[in-house]
Amino acid sequence: MPRLSEVIAALENLWPAERAESWDAVGTVVGEPDQDVSRVLFAVDPVQEIVDEAVKLGADLLVTHHPLYLRGTTTVAASTFKGRVVHTLIKNDIALHVAHTNADTADPGVSDALAGALDLRVVRPLVPDAGDPAGRRGLGRICELDHPLTVRELAARAAERLPATAQGIRVAGDPEAVVRTVAVSGGSGDSLFDHVRAAGVDAFLTADLRHHPASEFLADRAAHTPLALLDAAHWATEWPWCELAAAQLDEISDRHGWDLRVHVSRTVTDPWTAHAASDPTKTSGAPN
Ligand SMILES: [Zn+2]
């Protein structure tokens, strides 16, 4: 059975902390380096629901994509929601480790997992990491489809292959347009529009697209290639990484002859839990 410090070293090797953005907070948040680890749980969010799941599972280590604390704090009192998470973890001897932007830009990383879930062939990063001479690391991925799909079909595939959320997939652009190339980026993607435009792809699949960047981007598309936007729930676009990361740790565990059980949480932690569809016969204008 490996010690926590050995498992963390393996995770750091996959997602070195120095490759995280300067504003990010990655690495080990809670944990006793000498404790034994026999069960690991991967999840997107370090929220109470997930920590409770880790307790129930008997996990010794929880690995999440999102940080618990992005900024400094002066309290971990259990009366605060993050303090409650810290208390539950420590009381149950569960370590917490975070791989965020260092997992986004890794090879393979968050967007490779997203592309893989949709059977898209990754060609290259959307925003290559200047520090990687091989050009394999970076933010987002530019992908090709083995067989062209319409925007409508690609959205249906995303809705089917990504874990189900209340949001589903929102689409902007001509649903019958043909997609041969698509840029994907797990998590919030509207800061990447300039790169998507420069890549000349047929569609962009990401999450958290806001009104102004999206509508300005679409208004500008006549001057470039026609382009569709597919907006999924943030959590759903990052969840496939949990499966990829768990498989990576499983493989490392086998190589070391560790007795390690690796699990992926299927709990939906997307904050949006319901969706009321408008009447399609009334979507052509504001109410009279
Ligand atoms: Zn995220």
Range 127-154 average pLDDT: 96
Do 32 and 98 have their domain in common? yes
For the segment 49-57, the average pLDDT, to the nearest whole number, is 98
| pLDDT value for 67 | 98
Phi, psi of 102 (to 5 degrees): -70, -20
CA of 187 to the centre of ligand 1 (A): 4
Residue 287 binned pLDDT confidence (cut-offs 50, 70, 90) = low
Q: Which residues pair with 221 in a beta bridge?
A: none
**For residue 175, is the peptide bond before it cis, meaning its omega torsion is within 30 degrees of 0?**
no
Q: What is the pLDDT of residues 149-165, one digit of tens each?
A: 999 999 999 999 999 99
**Residue 262, both tokens:** 């690796």
Task: Calculate how far, in angstroms, residue 103's C-alpha sits from the geometric centre of ligand 1.
Answer: 11
Q: How close is the Cα of 223 to the center of ligand 1, in Å?
A: 31
> Is 104 marked within a binding site?
yes
From the CA of 31, how far away is ligand 1's center (Å)?
23
What's the CA dihedral at 39, 40, 46, 52 to 10 degrees?
-20
Q: Is 243 helix (H, G, I), strand (E, B) or coil?
A: helix
Rounded Cα distance, 257 and 2, in Å: 9
Residues 105 and 186: their CA atoms lie apart, in Å, by 10
Q: How confident is the model at residue 237 (pLDDT cuts 50, 70, 90)?
A: very high
Residue 223: predicted pLDDT: 55
**pTM, full prediction:** 0.95
Centre of ligand 1 from the C-alpha of residue 60, in Å: 24
Mean pLDDT of 11-36: 97
Q: Is residue 168 part of a domain?
A: yes
Residue 188 CA to ligand 1 centre (angstroms): 7
Nearest partner of 227 among 189, 179, 185, 190, judged by Cα: 179
Domain that holds residue 144: 105-232
Q: State the average pLDDT over residues 96-101.
A: 98
* Pair 225, 120 in one domain: yes
Is 251 labelled a binding residue?
no
- What band does 33 get if pLDDT is binned at 50, 70 and 90? very high
Asked if residue 275 is part of any domain, the answer here is no
Q: Among 184, 216, 232, which residue terminates a domain? A: 232
81-91 helix and 48-57 helix, angle to the nearest 10 degrees: 10
E strand segments, the chain: 27-30, 39-43, 61-64, 95-98, 121-128, 138-150, 170-172, 178-188, 203-207, 228-232, 261-264
- What CATH number is given to the structural domain containing 218? 3.40.1390.30
- Based on the fold, state whether residues 156 and 218 are members of the same structural domain: yes
Q: What is the distance between the alpha carbons of residues 284 and 274, in angstroms, rounded to a whole number? A: 23
Tell me whether residue 211 is annotated as binding: no
pLDDT of residue 222: 57
- Tell me whether residue 65 is annotated as binding: yes
- Please indicate, yes or no, if residue 278 is contained in any of the structural domains: no
In the reported structure, the alpha carbon of residue 259 is separated from the centroid of ligand 1 by a whole-number distance in angstroms of 30
Q: What is the distance in A from the centroid of ligand 1 to the CA of 122?
A: 20
Say if residue 238 carries a ligand binding annotation.
yes
Provide the edge-to-edge strand list for the sheet that holds 178-188: 121-128, 138-150, 178-188, 203-207, 228-232, 170-172
Q: What is the mean pLDDT of residues 128-145?
A: 96
Q: Is-contact 241 110, C-beta < 8 A? A: yes
Cα(288) to centroid of ligand 1, in Å?
A: 39
State what percent of residues in the chain have pLDDT above 90.
Answer: 90
Q: CA separation (Å) from 212 to 183, 208, 226?
A: 20, 12, 18
pLDDT for 226 equals 64
Q: What is the distance in A from the centroid of ligand 1 to the CA of 66?
A: 6
- What's the whole-number mean pLDDT along residues 213-242? 86
Q: Given this model, what pLDDT does residue 285 score? A: 62
What is the pLDDT averaged over residues 14-27?
Answer: 97
Count structural domains, the chain: 2
Query: How many angstroms does the Cα of residue 235 sit away from the middle of ligand 1?
Result: 7
Q: Which two tokens stand for residue 171?
A: 């689409």
